[in-house]
Amino acid sequence: MTSTEPSAAPADAPDAVAQVARVPLRSLERRAVLLLLFMALLVGAAVLYLMWVRGAFEETQTLYLSADDSEGVVVGMDMSFSGFPIGRVSRIELADQGTVRIHVDVPVKSARWLRTSSVFTLEKGLVGAARLRAFSGILDDPPLPPGAERIVLRGDVSAEIPKMVADARDVLLNLNRLTGEESALYATLGEVQRFTQRLNSSQGGLMAAVTGNEADARRVSELLGQTTQLVRRLDAVAQRVDSVVQRADRQVLGQDGLMTDAQVAVRQLGALLQELRQSMVKVDAVLTEVQGVAANAREASTDLGALRADVESSLRKVDALITELNRKWPFAPRQQEVRLP
């Protein structure tokens, strides 16, 4: 055994080796096996921990975000909601339309913060990396379905700067043009200055300043005097019209006015109509009776035919009797005429 292990020879080995060599071999092997097991345990724990924190054991759903520029987006970056990371970019690709398609893996337990009305933004500040954020304004909306596709809004501060500078330059140019000697504003200000000078010159006052000469100013002041008189007259007319209206109001809407009479008349008309309705009811009853009478008359006229036949036969018999009597003398009348009852 020792012949095949020259390293264990104590003559030229270092002290540590010599010390180790004194420990029984079986014990050394056992400790080495323990170290190996410890190492395996550490490796297993580390791998499992990393897989766990990378979300390997978590159920996720995919969300597709489309943007027009992928600048600042990197695989592995977070998507945050209210400052908390709720998803991670897993892939970036170019879509068929030339837009950028960002795949975001959202753990199912975090997906409840995403709603159909959620808005997604990609913000890029002057300093620091870009940030992908989600905003859910209405949490009562239905949850975002797996595989949903949304447009991401960009908020790029650095991209805004050139535009802002160009706009600012335009504004400054416009300002220069406005305040230049040939500008309208300059001429207007000159006119205003001349106007105020005329105003302060105490020749004709404000009117002269407005009209430009004294004669016009005088005419304007006369016009103003006439206008005042006109207004005064109009005021009197208006007072008169007011009294007329008051009178008319009294006559129409007063205590003994037209409206009161009209109300009484309308009330009487209502009573009249009421009575008319009662009369009509009575007429209706009379008509019903008349109908009954007519029915009776129809029956009576049927009987009248039979009566007439009887009367006719009786008359014929009377006629025959009279004829018989006439033929017998002394009853033969000079005047052979029978009077019927």
The answer to whether the CB of 67 falls within 8 A of the CB of 102 is yes
Taking the complex as a whole, the smallest distance from the CB of residue 106 to other proteins amounts, in Å, to 14
Out of 17, 18, 199, 210, point to the residue binding other proteins (CB under 8 A). 17
55: left (phi over 0), alpha (psi -120 to 50) or beta: left
Judged by CB under 8 A, the number of residues near other proteins is 37
Taking CB under 8 A as the rule, which mask of x and - marks residues 85-124 in contact with other proteins?
A: x--x------------------------------------
32 binds other proteins (CB under 8 A): yes
> Which residue's CB is nearer to other proteins, number 78 or number 216?
78
DSSP 290-332: HHHHHHHHHHHHHHHHHHHHHHHHHHHHHHHHHHHHHHSSSS-
Question: What's the first-to-final CA gap in the chain, in angstroms?
Answer: 184
The answer to whether the CB of 180 falls within 8 A of the CB of 186 is yes
CB atoms within 10 A of CB 90: 14
Stretch of 6-14, 243-251, 284-292, 328-336 contacting other proteins, by CB under 8 A:
6-14
Taking the complex as a whole, the smallest distance from the CB of residue 56 to other proteins amounts, in Å, to 10
Q: Is 285 helix (H, G, I), strand (E, B) or coil?
A: helix
**Phi then psi for 115, rounded to 5 degrees?**
-120, 170
237 binds other proteins (CB under 8 A): no
The answer to whether the CB of 105 falls within 8 A of the CB of 65 is no
Out of 39, 165, 206, 272, point to the residue binding other proteins (CB under 8 A). 39
Stretch of 34-42, 116-124, 151-159, 191-199 contacting other proteins, by CB under 8 A:
34-42
1 binds other proteins (CB under 8 A): yes
List the one residue out of 62, 86, 88 whose CA is nearest residue 77.
88
Out of 24, 76, 98, 147, point to the residue binding other proteins (CB under 8 A). 76
Task: Give the amino acid at 279.
Answer: S
Out of 4, 226, 228, 243, point to the residue binding other proteins (CB under 8 A). 4
CA distance 297 to 309: 18
Our CA angle for 192, 193, 199, nearest 5°, is: 90
> Which residue's CB is nearer to other proteins, number 88 or number 124?
88
Q: How many Å separate Cα 158 from the centre of its chain?
A: 38
Taking the complex as a whole, the smallest distance from the CB of residue 31 to other proteins amounts, in Å, to 5
Out of 2, 10, 18, 31, point to the residue binding other proteins (CB under 8 A). 31
Stretch of 8-16, 251-259, 302-310, 327-335 contacting other proteins, by CB under 8 A:
8-16
> Which residue's CB is nearer to other proteins, number 21 or number 153?
21
Count Cβ atoms within 10 A of the Cβ of residue 67 and give its class: 0-12 exposed, 13-18 middle, 19 or more buried.
Answer: buried
Bridge partners (DSSP) listed for residue 134: 81, 120
> Which residue's CB is nearer to other proteins, number 16 or number 138?
16
Out of 36, 108, 178, 338, point to the residue binding other proteins (CB under 8 A). 36
Residue 65: HSE in the Cβ half-sphere, 13 Å Cα cutoff: 28
The residues that touch other proteins, with contacts defined as CB under 8 A, are 1, 3-7, 9, 12-14, 16-17, 20, 25, 28-29, 31-33, 35-36, 38-39, 42-43, 45-46, 50, 52-55, 75-76, 78, 85, 88
